[in-house]
Amino acid sequence: MTLKKMVLFLASAAVSFQAFAAGDPESTLREAMQEAVTVANASAGGRALADKLQPLLERRVCFESMTRRAIGPGWREFSPAQQAEATRLFTKLIIRSYSNKFTPGEEPEVKYLKGSSQGPDKIEIPTSMLYKGSRYSIVYRMENRGKWLITDILVEGVSLIANYRAQFNELFKRGGVNAVMDSLKKSVADT
């Protein structure tokens, strides 16, 4: 094998390896985290940060699935238009709520721990995050839906989905679809 062919072979092998690595859930999560930190550090914070993060997070998080699971059994009572609007509002609420907790320039130190399979095309990836002097245990639930997407986040053992589901279930019992939609609209307006 000539030196030129060897270099081309190694280069193509490296590209193939990178393409494979990018398709695994941990690499996908690492890329998403790094992209979010990069965008956050280039932003002034607040709603401007949320607006800049939204397109990135919509590529990495399955907000439709999160919204459906957070609303729970009441989801079937929503019309397709209401489902789309609930997903849009829930997406804004989550992104605004969490971007408000981030301080541009302060990068979290993240240690990725061994992921565990939760069934076919499902995985949980635990992390230990040090941010602003405090350590947090955060688990990312991901599903392969043609690409790996985040479908839930557990912070210190508390599921984002379960937390909202408890709230939405109570609202749905008291006032149906309209109560949930009104709450989402008010929450987004307040964040």
The mean per-residue pLDDT over the stretch 61-75 comes to 95
Structural domain boundaries in the chain: 3-190
Lowest mean pLDDT among 17-21, 28-32, 82-86, 98-102: 17-21
Domain 3-190 of CATH type 3.10.450.710: yes
Distance in angstroms (rounded) separating the CA atoms of residues 11 and 184: 50
- pLDDT greater than 50 at residue 87: yes
Phi and psi angles of residue 81, each rounded to the nearest 5 degrees, phi first: -65, -40
Beta carbons of 152 and 63 less than 8 angstroms apart: no
Q: What is the mean pLDDT of residues 46-53?
A: 83
Cα 59 → chain centroid: 9
pLDDT of residue 116: 87
Rounded to 10°, the helix 80-99/160-190 angle is 90
pLDDT for residue 4 is more than 50: no
Dihedral angle of Cα 147, 148, 151, 154, to the nearest 10 degrees: -170
Q: Give the pLDDT mean for 163-170.
A: 94
Where is pLDDT greater, at 105 or 186? 186
For residues 102-136, one letter each, b for 16 or more C-beta atoms within 10 angstroms of the residue's C-beta and e for the rest, the string is beeeebbebebeebeeeeeeebbbebebebeeeee
Specify the pLDDT at position 45.
Answer: 66
